[in-house]
Chains A and B, each alone.
Chain A
Amino acid sequence: MKGNTVLRFASLLFLAALIAPAHAELTIEITGAGEHQIPIAVVPFAGDEKLAQSISGVVAADLQRSGLFRLVNPGGKAPHQPNEVVYADWAGTDALAIGTVTAQPNGRVAVEFRLMDVVRQTELLGESLSARASQARAIAHRIADMIFQKMTGTRGVFSTRIAYVNKQGGTFRLVVADSDGYGEQTVLTSPETIMSPAWSPDGSHLAYVSFEKRRAVVFVQSLLTGQRLLLANFEGSNSAPAWAPDGRHLAVVLTRDGSSQIYLVRPDGTDLRRISFSGAIDTEPNFSPDGQFLLFTSDRGGTPQIYRMSADGSGPADRLTFDEGNSFSPCYSPDGKSFVFTRLLNGRFYIAVEDFATQQVQMLTDGGWEKRPTFAPNGKMVLFANEAQGRGILATVSSDGRVKQKMFPQAGDIREPTWGPFLNNNLN
């Protein structure tokens, strides 16, 4: 079977670089604010200014981007140790992040940071972290995650990663980056379209669609070794990979038996079986967090809408979207209680969320060229592709629709973003 062919990294000429860091700077625009913003001050850490990358600056930017914090300007006050904090100076601020950064002779960076509760005048967090100097942003994201969790009760996503496709001229790059868009690493470069990247649940692999064989085929690629597996290479189109939450199967869409239908396949390409039998277009499968259901797009009712079926294909499918317009690209929330999708209405694409219990649909965005939403793994933000100034960009919206961000790349068009899972990665 063709789908079992394992291609080695070394044999692929167009796999330009496994981990090729790009030094693209992003411009980030934030609009809106959370309903109850937490006032917090991030005091520039002592020694931070000696680093190429300010750690406390990244911490502050992370917290601000979440929309849940209001950054209080330290205004020249610069405590770095608990005994230097004069609480009376910080009235109106709930918490204070302070710390010191030390560049060590061995090329590592050590950070000591504390989160102080201004109201109770106590230490909420005290942590020491160290990593290679090149990992300064990772340290900062880790600190921001700790602060976010302490102050909101929800796990932060600043240390998670996103994947997307950057199209520049006739070159497509599959890219993995930090959730703030920095730290781009090129996973695959191709002169043909790359689309529909999908993270494995453990964050170790990406499945994606590539047109490198002059038609759509599905690959699974290890982010650790670069090794690729040609997962689905049947006649016609092979597309829309989605991982089951246990990582043991993927759903893919094939046209080998007629119209686009959903199949399950193991990550090694074996045990392929068809699970949808509509004769219409069934595509964009997405697993529920418990693995029991699939959302998908189908035109079986005449227009493309969102449906839900059991993940083993048994029983009938339920239609979930009914309103005016066409609906595409469903994605479950991490708690399984809602899903985001793209709605095309009167020529504009919107990001919308539907609650399963109430079947209420809320438009999260103002409409435009907005496509392919995915939830952050904590469910608090939605990442999607947008267009601004004639270019493809990354955009996020908080899951309540209040805070919006646009992230402009330095070059190229960004498309097909997808938010990766929580990682239990260690700093090194």
Chain B
Amino acid sequence: MKNVALSILMVSLLAACGSQPPKEQPAAQTTPAAEAPAAQPAEPAAPAKVAADPLDDPNSILARRSVFYPLDVSVVQSADRAVVDAHAQYLAAHPGTKVRLEGNCDERGSNEYNLALGQRRADGVKKLLIAGGANASQIESVSNGEEKPKVSCHAEKCWKENRRTDLIYNR
């Protein structure tokens, strides 16, 4: 148990270092300082601090909760890497926060193949989150396959919306 506590503390410290937000996003700047004490379970969080959670900031990169893919691809694209990295830093700074990753696919495949592909998409994001400092225990990755399309039509304008992994926080 001591080891666990120690590693949580270390993750918190690392996260505090790692989560300096980019300077061009002033709205998020106050957050790390506010969040660091909140990570200590003994200290009750003040309402003002909760409100300052960057997850609630619509201007934060953390407001982006989906990454998108080309057909039959499960590797996070370079355009979406910054989003995943930001979520990794957030999770590292908030070890009590859990996220559920739901992989989704367009309908061009069998249902079972798409279930597998969606799982690979979600698992790919999970690996990046862990590489970025999140703990595996914070992350659940599942697949919806093609079963939960955001938009339904037999055309690329819908398909591109449906090839994605969603990050869903449980706070």
Contact = CB atoms under 8 A, between A and B. Distances in A.
A212 B71 CA distance: 28
A42 B117 CA distance: 51
A260 B154 CA distance: 26
A304 interface: yes
Given A215-B142, A236-B142, A260-B119, A281 B110 contact: no
The residue in B72, B119, B123 that gathers the most chain A C-beta atoms within 10 A of its C-beta is: B119
Given A255-B123, A260-B120, A416 B115 contact: no
A90 interface: no
Interface string A246-275: 000000010100111000000000000000
Interface in B90-133: 108-113, 115-120, 123
Nearest to A194: B147
6 contacts: A237-B116, A240-B115, A258-B123, A281-B117, A283-B115, A297-B113
A236 to B, nearest CB: 6
Contacts of B148: 193
A283 B112 contact: yes
A54 interface: no
B104 to A, nearest CB: 12
Contacts, number: 89
Given A195-B111, A236-B141, 19 more contacts: A196-B112, A209-B115, A215-B143, A216-B115, A236-B119, A236-B143, A237-B119, A259-B120, A260-B119, A281-B117, A284-B110, A284-B112, A297-B110, A297-B112, A304-B109, A328-B112, A344-B108, A371-B110, A372-B111
A189 B30 CA distance: 49
B110 A239 contact: no
A369 interface: yes
Interface string A180-207: 0000000000000101100000000000
Contact of B109 (A214, A236, A328, A415): A328
The residue in A211, A237, A303, A328 that gathers the most chain B C-beta atoms within 10 A of its C-beta is: A237
Contact of A344 (B109, B123, B147, B154): B109
Interface string A218-260: 0000000000000000001101100000000000010100111
Sorting the interface of chain B by its residue count into under 10, 10 to 19, 20 to 34 or 35 or more gives: 20 to 34
A329 interface: yes
A283 B113 contact: yes
Nearest to B107: A369
A342 interface: yes
B120 A328 contact: no
Given A195-B147, A236-B141, A255-B123, A260 B111 contact: no
The residue in B111, B123, B147 that gathers the most chain A C-beta atoms within 10 A of its C-beta is: B111
A326 interface: yes
Nearest to B147: A193
B115 A239 contact: yes
A392 B44 CA distance: 53
A347 interface: yes
Contacts of B112: 195-196, 239-240, 253, 283-284, 297, 328-329
Given A211-B147, A255-B119, A347-B108, A281 B141 contact: no
Contacts of B115: 195, 209, 216, 237, 239-240, 260, 283
Nearest to A258: B123
Contacts of A195: 111-112, 115, 147
A283 B113 CA distance: 7
A209 B110 CA distance: 14
Contacts of B147: 193, 195, 211
Closest 9 CB pairs of A and B: A328-B110, A260-B116, A215-B142, A281-B116, A193-B147, A237-B119, A329-B110, A240-B112, A283-B116
